[in-house]
Amino acid sequence: MRTVTVTGQGSAAVAPDTAVVRLAAGHRAVDVAQALGGVDTTVIILGTVARRFTDARRIATTELTVWPAYDEGGRPSGYEARHGLRVVVADLGVAGEMLTALAAEVGDALRVDGVALEVADPGPATRDAREAALADARARAEHLAGLAGADLGSVVSIVEGGSAGGPAHSLRAKDTSFEPGEQAIDASVTVTYELTGPD
């Protein structure tokens, strides 16, 4: 049986609708216990404020570290503690409001490590990208079959390649408000078709 194997690519654009905010609290003190106690007090405030804007199950600790601190002359000056949180907010406007509230209530102890914009349910866009990839594969195969003087027959096999959301969205922040832009959801399929017609 004569066959032709091609790889098709497809993409679908979707606007991110969820903000993943990486926060942290930091505190320096003369000993480990006080450093941990100070950072714990701030984290309690962070959690209390964040729960006003998102579900508690969407707030999680990502790290807790303590290390020796030094002054500008390189002399030991106590210890510094850091407690990181990951907060998922299912609304970009609400995420901006949360950051504003955190800055007002936590003050200089607040650390914002970054904000990532994601798509909560990429399923529909993934299906669109997959359909586009399959159409692209068929167009490629028909072109190759025509060049070989053959006709395209039935599908022999389909293998789906990597499909992922590329970080193709724009992210701009001003006064803790976000512009979602668009995110590209990509798909790839490798298809083998039977060739029919004259040898």
What pLDDT, on a 0 to 100 scale, did the predictor assign at position 170?
Answer: 35
What pLDDT, on a 0 to 100 scale, did the predictor assign at position 178?
Answer: 63
Torsion sign, CA atoms 161, 164, 166, 167: negative
What pLDDT, on a 0 to 100 scale, did the predictor assign at position 73?
Answer: 85
Same domain, 23 and 37: yes
CATH number for position 77: 3.30.70.2970
Name the stretches of the chain with pLDDT < 70.
Answer: 162-180, 199
Same domain, 31 and 109: yes
What pLDDT, on a 0 to 100 scale, did the predictor assign at position 171?
Answer: 36
Q: Could you tell me the two tokens for 124?
A: 């529909």
From 93, 118, 143, the end of a domain falls on 118
From 102, 118, 134, the end of a domain falls on 118
Question: Distance between CA 10 and CA 59 in Å, rounded?
Answer: 35
What pLDDT, on a 0 to 100 scale, did the predictor assign at position 55?
Answer: 93
HEC assignment per residue over 70-100? ECCCCCEEEEEEEEEEEEEECCHHHHHHHHH
Same domain, 104 and 157: no
What pLDDT, on a 0 to 100 scale, did the predictor assign at position 199?
Answer: 64
Give Cα 159 to chain centroid, integer Å. Answer: 26
What pLDDT, on a 0 to 100 scale, did the predictor assign at position 129?
Answer: 93
From 99, 118, 137, the end of a domain falls on 118
Question: Distance between CA 108 and CA 117 in Å, rounded?
Answer: 25
pLDDT tens-digit readout, 153-185: 999 999 997 444 443 333 333 344 566 677 788
**pTM for this one?**
0.66
Question: Distance between CA 169 and CA 12 in Å, rounded?
Answer: 12
Cβ neighbours of residue 56 under 8 Å, at least 6 residues apart?
none
What pLDDT, on a 0 to 100 scale, did the predictor assign at position 179?
Answer: 62
What domain range is 102 assigned to?
18-118
What pLDDT, on a 0 to 100 scale, did the predictor assign at position 182?
Answer: 77
Crossing angle for the helix pair 92-106 and 32-50, to the nearest 10 degrees: 140
